[in-house]
Amino acid sequence: MNAVTADLVIRNGKVVSPDAVIEASIAIKDGRILAIGADSAMPPAKETFDATGLHILPGAIDDHVHFRDPGYPHKEDWESGTAAAAFGGVTCVFDMPNTIPPTGTAEILAAKHEIAAAKAHIDFGLYGLLGDDTIANVPALVDGGVIGFKLYMGNTFGKIPSPDTGATLECFEVVAATGKRISLHAENNDIMERRQKRLMAAGIRDQFAHLAARPPVVAVEAVSRAAILAEWTGARIHVLHISTADELRPLREAKARGVDITGETCPHYLMLSTEDYTRVPGVIAVNPPVREKHNQEPIWQALLDGSIDVIATDHAPHTPEEKTRNDIWTVDCGFPGVETQMPLMLTEVNAGRMTICDYVRMSAYNPARIWGLYPRKGALLPGSDADIAIVDLSRTHAIRDAETQSRSKISPWDGRAVKGLPIHTLVRGRFVMKDRTLVTETKGWGRSVHTIQKMPKPTVRHAEHSMQSITNARS
């Protein structure tokens, strides 16, 4: 006898975990997974959904998006950004703090939480801005529910000032004690600023000048320095958008030393190269830049051997006008990605580049683990939130910027053929995208995931040298 009635049973799909693909049905109740197993073992349900022939994945967790809200509604907002995510099989995003005003105080954070909760179709976390001016705000930002911190070692869109090394060390000291992870835009600001100034003075303003201002050493130096400061303080760090083969050595060496350092890359560093620059001039401009082709293979290898933990997108929407200006120094850097990451990566699964289990590991399982959300998020297990991407691996599709949900409507992916497409997306048991159609009533369904985050206990190092303990001892 079975006393429980499920809200929904998704029947006869191929359920994907990091280790295996199993033929199974999934019962969902109150937004969580109640049971997974043989269809005959499922409880009675108010509703059933046939997933025969489809793969059932934990929804992707994209720990790197810019939804521009508040501040730049013409580029994106929480409604359009999360609609794009829903179409991309993404059930949770972490939003970056370079909005207006930047997310650097508890009050601004609270206001952003409200905006997001009113508009989001999917779940979210909000980064707090970490820099020289916000060190003192760290405890209040943690209390206010940041998912983690973002520190801009190098300048990019939004012109957030980059802390110098002294301030960066102090930032790491303070955040180390909280146990939160710090995501890093790891590019050396001094090198970039100097080179850009000299290039501009020489009147060089073609798109390759952008690349010339940010050679790989800019990233390698920043990753290496950040790893040393993290090792010293015990701060947890996450290296965003790894773009070069050269960054892999300091990343791997730091991991081998036991530094709590994780890495991320994005589809554009795996699939685009300088060979694409003339095809989509300006549109492809992003920080860090898309690089020479020889970087692709080592980054793939690192993603597959686990040196790079996460595939994310750096979804950075701008308008066609902002992307196609003649002077590269005035072009807004970045392009949308939250909607196309999964189809692009599933195309690689179909091509034999990796298994679908590998994909789930880097898109859902790893991000959930490193951000303290596992197994509520990033897993299809009894008790997990029913955050699900139902994908058709055999479905072909051409990416068309004009048809995307993002307000940006311009990317280097326009016209690209993919094979493997999310067809339905559920967040906490509710369809937010069904049959490639947005469920508009789910606007406002998204919730901040900071309430379920459990980071491991902090491991602070060299506390006796921290500015705080020294000034406390003398006061």
Q: Which residues contribute to the site for ligand DOR (CB under 6 A)? A: 66, 98, 156-158, 185, 286-287, 316, 333-334
Residue from 170, 173, 187, 314 that binds Zn ion (CB under 5 A)?
314
Closest CA to 316 of 280, 268, 273: 268
- Nearer Cβ to ligand DOR (24/308): 308
Take residue 329 and report the two structure tokens written for it. Answer: 């120094």
Rounded to a whole number of angstroms, the minimum distance from the CB of residue 454 to Zn ion is: 25
Residues 192 and 205: their CA atoms lie apart, in Å, by 15
Cα–Cα distance measured from residue 452 to residue 373, given in angstroms and rounded to the nearest whole number? 7
Supply the minimum distance, in Å, between the C-beta of residue 318 and ligand DOR.
Answer: 7
95 contributes a contact to Zn ion by CB under 5 A? no
**Partner touching 98 among ligand DOR, Zn ion, none, CB below 5 to 8 Å by kind:** ligand DOR
Residues, the chain:
475
Residue 385, φ and ψ in degrees, nearest 5: -60, 140
For residues 338 and 259, give the distance between their C-alpha atoms in angstroms, rounded to a whole number. 29
Q: Which is nearer to Zn ion, 154 or 422 (CB)?
A: 154
What does 401 interact with, of Zn ion, ligand DOR, none (CB < 5 to 8 A by kind)? none
Contacts of 349 (CB under 8 A, 6+ apart): 355, 356, 358, 359, 393, 420
Q: Which is closer to ligand DOR, CB of 42 or CB of 285?
A: 285
15 binds, among ligand DOR, Zn ion, none (CB under 5 to 8 A by kind): none
Residue nearest to Zn ion (CB): 314
Half-sphere exposure of 443 (CA within 13 A, CB side): 11
| All residues at 6 or more sequence positions from 261 whose CB lies less than 8 Å from its CB, including other chains | 226, 227, 230, 236, 237, 238, 239, 251, 254, 255
The residue (of 153 and 433) whose beta carbon lies closer to ligand DOR is 153
Tokens of 373: 């959300």
Q: Which two tokens stand for residue 225?
A: 């320095």
Classify residue 46 by its DSSP letter. S
Q: Which amino acid is at 167?
A: A
Shortest CA distance to 295 belongs to which of 227, 210, 349, 216?
216
**CB under 5 A: which stretch of 223-231, 312-320, 369-377, 448-456 binds Zn ion?**
312-320
Q: Which residue is nearest to ligand DOR (CB)?
A: 334
Integer Cα distance of 36 and 42 in angstroms: 8
Partner interacting with residue 61 (select from ligand DOR, Zn ion, none; CB below 5-8 Å by kind): none
Residue 156 CB, nearest approach to ligand DOR (Å): 4
Minimum CB separation from Zn ion for residue 121, in Å?
21
Q: How far is the CB of 158 from ligand DOR (least distance, A)?
A: 6
Count of residues binding Zn ion (CB under 5 A)? 1
| Minimum gap (Å) between residue 72 Cβ and ligand DOR | 9
In the complex with ligand DOR, the residue whose CB is nearer, 156 or 404, is 156
Tell me the one-letter amino acid at 282: G
Smallest distance from ligand DOR to CB 281, Å: 15
CB of 40 to ligand DOR, least distance (A): 50
Rule CB under 5 A: which residues touch Zn ion? 314
